[in-house]
Amino acid sequence: MNTKKSQVKILLAAFEADPFYKSGGLGDVAGSLPRYVASDNYDIRVILPKLSTIPQKYVDKMQFIESFTVPLGWRNQYCGLFELKFSGVRYYFVDNEFYFNRPKVYGEFDDGERIAFFSKAVLESIEHMNGFIPDVLHCNDWHTALTPVFLREQYMQVPGFDQIKTIFTIHNLKFQGMFSADMIGNILGLAGTPAESQIKMGDAVNFMQGALRYSDMLTTVSPSYAKEICTPYYGEHMDGLFNARRASLVGILNGIDYKEFDPLYDKNIEFHFSDKTIQNKKKNKLKLQEELGLEVDETIPMYTIISRLTEQKGLDLVTYILPQLMERKMQLVILGVGDQKYEEAFTWYANNNPKKVAALMKFDAKLSNVLYAASDALLVPSRFEPCGLTQMMAMRYGTLPIVRETGGLKDSVAPYNEYTGSGTGFSFANFNAHELLSTIDNSLMVWYDRPKDWLKMQKQAMKKDYSWRSSAKQYRKLYRKIAGK
Ligand code: ADP
């Protein structure tokens, strides 16, 4: 019997991917996932815009394939296609200087048109990939949400295209791509087609709504978030649609790069450690306490926040209980940038309690690793969290996350069990400052009164596997299933 599996061909379309350009979680996923999926049985390729922000060292290595035009309403726009092999994956770059040579990647006045161009260029490019027609076209977030719509409405006559299956992944439901409905005829060329009513939302066009209606399969970045978005609280006005498509909606937890985030080899930290040499971790804390002007004492637990300082991250709960936290025997270090009100609150407390609080109001990737290594606990009390990476990074470095039970936080942190001493962190259910405070108090109790349990949890957290390896396995299964191979 021949047990050899047939090859599945996948084209992953995204607007950003690390290391070419990254602004957030989407860039992490589009950067890491293909490398972990790629194998003889999975020919996964990635298509991206050729942004002017891509470092020159990558641009220099790109090979020009061909140029052609992309129809966009009444226009025909130039499109160059470039190729680059990197880390075992073939990347395609869509070139158009007018759309992609901009000072900002997002937030330009004509984002709707730029994104529509890219979404359609993905399909036009497939015709120039030397015979590569994907079994699965994997689109991500609103920037590629129109691709499944264009595929079904305008490209079914291209040989082979009717066999392409589509997956749409939601990384961020907040940004849906809403623009004036004038675009539907003028730029999208979809006026008078069945798509018109499918992508319209009131007087506007909503790109993401198109993908939610047209894609064969929908995914998001954690199983719990997949359930949550079917409710009005989390659904961002799309819960009705998610409910209607519940049978085609799955959540797959993101991973982190276990090579990049490894306390045994991390070049950013001075004292390396593993779950077997965890006693070395506290040397990082002592060093950081000194550098930040905090009280230098290994017995005082250091709680950290590493985050965008926005409402989503539950920082209102933290600022509400700051007076109480000042009475506890603990330290608080905040690394983040964002809303002024949070920056001011944290800075004020740091100025008034310099031995207890440090407010580092900046984005500093190196320092974030130092903090993961040095801290004892990480606060992530988010209002919503599709997946969240900081809690996984913390666990990898033996730092116990204190999280609200939502989205990926719920799926990745096992709460402390006081009877067995098991768990990988602490959690609370309701978006309520007093629940956060009592959870912090509970963690302080474990730190001071049950150090053996703390240590056991640290080891359990460090042993957990939140690498891309396990997530990629689930994506492979999904790709194969939907491709019918
Ligand atoms: P989100 O994508 O919603 O911002 P995630 O938890 O998914 O949240 O990812 C946040 C990432 O950004 C993590 O890698 C975290 O370490 C990093 N990060 C957040 N704020 C900072 C900062 N001020 N300095 C350095 N890294 C940060």
DSSP string, 359-394: EE-S--HHHHHHHHHH-SEEEE--S--SS-SHHHHH
φ/ψ of residue 35, rounded to 5: -65, -35
- pLDDT recorded at residue 291: 98
- pLDDT recorded at residue 25: 81
- Looking at the chain, how many residues does it have? 485
φ/ψ of residue 299, rounded to 5: -80, -15
pLDDT in tens, 237-262: 999 999 999 999 999 999 998 888 99
Look at ligand 1, atom 9, and give the residue with the nearest C-alpha: 389
Residue 142 DSSP SS3: helix
- Cα 16 to averaged position of ligand 1 atoms, centre (Å): 16
Say if residues 390 and 366 touch (Cβ distance below 8 Å): no
- pLDDT recorded at residue 5: 85
- pLDDT recorded at residue 212: 98
- Round the CA-based radius of gyration of the chain to a whole number and report it: 24
- Cα 368 to averaged position of ligand 1 atoms, centre (Å): 9
Q: How far apart are CA 436 and CA 402, in angstroms?
A: 8
CA 52 to each of CA 21, 55, 98: distance values in angstroms, whole numbers, following the listed order? 10, 8, 11
Look at ligand 1, atom 2, and give the residue with the nearest C-alpha: 25
- Cα 390 to averaged position of ligand 1 atoms, centre (Å): 6
Say if residues 262 and 252 touch (Cβ distance below 8 Å): no
> For residue 336, which atom of ligand 1 is closest to its CA?
23
CA proximity to 147, closest of 119, 183, 187: 119
- pLDDT recorded at residue 236: 96
Look at ligand 1, atom 15, and give the residue with the nearest C-alpha: 390
Does the pLDDT of residue 1 top 60, yes or no?
no
Say if residues 366 and 267 touch (Cβ distance below 8 Å): no
Does the pLDDT of residue 24 top 90, yes or no?
no
- Our measurement of the distance from residue 75's CA atom to the centroid of its chain's CA atoms, rounded to an integer in Å, reads 34
Q: What is the mean pLDDT of the chain?
A: 96
Percent of the chain exceeding pLDDT 90 equals 96
CA proximity to 21, closest of 12, 31, 32, 13: 31
- Cα 27 to averaged position of ligand 1 atoms, centre (Å): 12
- pLDDT recorded at residue 233: 96
pLDDT in tens, 361-398: 999 989 999 999 999 999 999 999 999 999 999 999 99
Ligand 1 pocket test, candidate residues 23, 28, 306, most atoms within 8 A of CB: 306
Side-chain-side CA neighbours of 485 within 13 Å: the count stands at 21
pLDDT band per the 50, 70, 90 thresholds, residue 28: confident
Ligand 1 pocket test, candidate residues 254, 307, 370, most atoms within 8 A of CB: 307
Look at ligand 1, atom 26, and give the residue with the nearest C-alpha: 365
> For residue 362, which atom of ligand 1 is closest to its CA?
23
Look at ligand 1, atom 22, and give the residue with the nearest C-alpha: 363
- pLDDT recorded at residue 415: 98
pLDDT in tens, 43-102: 999 999 999 999 999 999 999 999 999 999 999 999 999 999 999 999 999 999 999 999
Side-chain-side CA neighbours of 408 within 13 Å: the count stands at 23
Residue 34 DSSP SS3: helix
Ligand 1 pocket test, candidate residues 28, 343, 368, most atoms within 8 A of CB: 368
Side-chain-side CA neighbours of 212 within 13 Å: the count stands at 27
Q: How far apart are CA 389 and CA 384, in angstroms?
A: 13
CA proximity to 168, closest of 143, 187, 193: 143
Instruction: Scan for tokens 């962190």, then name that residue.
Output: 425
Instruction: Scan for tokens 């606990």, then name that residue.
Output: 377
Look at ligand 1, atom 20, and give the residue with the nearest C-alpha: 307
Instruction: Scan for tokens 């637990």, then name that residue.
Output: 301
Compute the average pLDDT of residues 439-445.
Answer: 98
pLDDT band per the 50, 70, 90 thresholds, residue 438: very high
- Cα 10 to averaged position of ligand 1 atoms, centre (Å): 29
Predicted structure pTM score: 0.93
Structure tokens at 393: 């990074």
pLDDT band per the 50, 70, 90 thresholds, residue 23: confident
- pLDDT recorded at residue 4: 75
Q: How far apart are CA 21 and CA 105, in angstroms?
A: 9
Say if residues 188 and 205 touch (Cβ distance below 8 Å): yes
φ/ψ of residue 219, rounded to 5: -135, 155
- Cα 464 to averaged position of ligand 1 atoms, centre (Å): 20
pLDDT in tens, 268-323: 999 999 999 999 999 999 999 999 999 999 999 999 999 999 999 999 999 999 99
Measured from CB, residues less than 6 Å from any atom of ligand 1 are: 24-25, 306-308, 335-337, 363-365, 368, 387-390, 393
Look at ligand 1, atom 19, and give the residue with the nearest C-alpha: 307
- Cα 306 to averaged position of ligand 1 atoms, centre (Å): 6
pLDDT band per the 50, 70, 90 thresholds, residue 2: low
- pLDDT recorded at residue 257: 87
- Cα 308 to averaged position of ligand 1 atoms, centre (Å): 6
Ligand 1 pocket test, candidate residues 258, 266, 308, most atoms within 8 A of CB: 308
- Cα 439 to averaged position of ligand 1 atoms, centre (Å): 23
| Residue 355 neighbours by CB under 8 Å, 6+ apart | 293, 294, 295
